[in-house]
């Protein structure tokens, strides 16, 4: 009798756990060619961004060689822009590499995706910081180009010095405000192009944790 009970239990199909079902769902989603696959959206947006960077880099190089070759200050500005574009291009290319790694069917899919999503978000933050740094360099370059006029404005004769310093302070605050606005807009754009799809992946990972 006990042997018959054991045989019946052994022959009964083992129902997959909720965790294994969720992982299978995740694997299916990551390999699906449909628009429901967040990796396809991420790769498409990253590829488009990289193509735009390459195009702007080519135009900047053309300007540096032809239109700005007799204007040293403008040429330095264009070259600085090209260096910044190279840095941004490297970051976007690394994001594409991370997405390709996500497509691979690792044995421990949960930990693999979790690590790569964290890496992708780190690259997004690095991109944001580089954008702020680029804006700061543009402001610094403009200030250096007008250094003589600025110093003359900050050293007025008579009683107008207080007003001049007030205007200069307001200008600094306005520039800082514009830099922060640029940073905020960049973060919103990253959320629209990448963040919402990463959120979708993380929501599925949280189902695996449950």
Q: What confidence tens digit (pLDDT) does each residue in 96-154 have? A: 999 988 887 667 777 888 899 999 999 999 999 988 888 888 888 778 777 787 777 77
Domains held by the chain: number: 1
Token pair recorded at residue 135: 């804006």
Contact 98, 119 (CB under 8 A): yes
Residue 31 is assigned to a structural domain of this protein: no
Nearest to 45 by CA among 88, 80, 96: 96
Residue 10 is assigned to a structural domain of this protein: no
Angle, to 10 degrees, between the axis of helix 161-190 and the axis of helix 109-145? 150
Residue range of the domain that includes 72: 41-209
Question: How much is the CA Rg of the chain, to the nearest whole Å?
Answer: 27
- Average pLDDT over every residue of 35-52: 88
Residue 19 is assigned to a structural domain of this protein: no
Pairwise CA distance, residues 47 & 172, whole Å: 37
Contact 142, 185 (CB under 8 A): no
Does the pTM of the predicted model rise above 0.95? no
Residue 46 is assigned to a structural domain of this protein: yes
Q: Identify which has the larger pLDDT, 66 or 116.
A: 116
Beta strand extents in 121-204 (DSSP E only):
none
Pairwise CA distance, residues 182 & 175, whole Å: 11
Residue 138 is assigned to a structural domain of this protein: yes
pLDDT band at 6 (very low <50, low <70, confident <90, very high): very low
Residue 132 is assigned to a structural domain of this protein: yes
The per-residue pLDDT of the chain, averaged, comes to 80
pLDDT at 9: 46
Residue 157 is assigned to a structural domain of this protein: yes
Residue 98 is assigned to a structural domain of this protein: yes
Pairwise CA distance, residues 126 & 123, whole Å: 5
């Amino acid at each position: 009798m006990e042997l018959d009970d054991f045989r019946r239990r052994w022959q009964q199909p083992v129902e997959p756990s909720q965790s294994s079902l969720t992982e299978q769902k995740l694997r299916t989603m990551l390999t699906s060619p449909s628009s429901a696959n967040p990796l396809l959206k991420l790769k498409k947006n990253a590829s488009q961004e990289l193509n735009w960077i390459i195009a702007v880099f080519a135009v900047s190089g053309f300007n540096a060689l032809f239109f700005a070759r007799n204007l040293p200050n403008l040429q330095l500005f264009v070259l600085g822009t090209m260096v910044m574009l190279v840095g941004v291009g490297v970051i976007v290319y690394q994001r594409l590499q991370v997405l390709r790694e996500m497509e691979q069917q690792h044995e421990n899919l949960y930990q693999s995706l979790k690590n790569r999503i964290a890496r992708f978000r780190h690259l997004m933050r690095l991109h944001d910081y580089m954008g702020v740094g680029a804006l700061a360099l543009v402001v610094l370059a403009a200030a250096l180009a007008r250094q003589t006029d600025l110093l003359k404005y900050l050293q007025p004769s008579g009683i107008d010095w207080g007003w001049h310093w007030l205007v200069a302070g307001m200008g600094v605050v306005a520039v800082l405000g514009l830099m922060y606005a640029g940073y905020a807009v960049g973060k919103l754009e990253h959320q629209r192009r990448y963040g919402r799809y990463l959120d979708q992946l993380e929501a599925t990972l949280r189902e695996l944790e449950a």
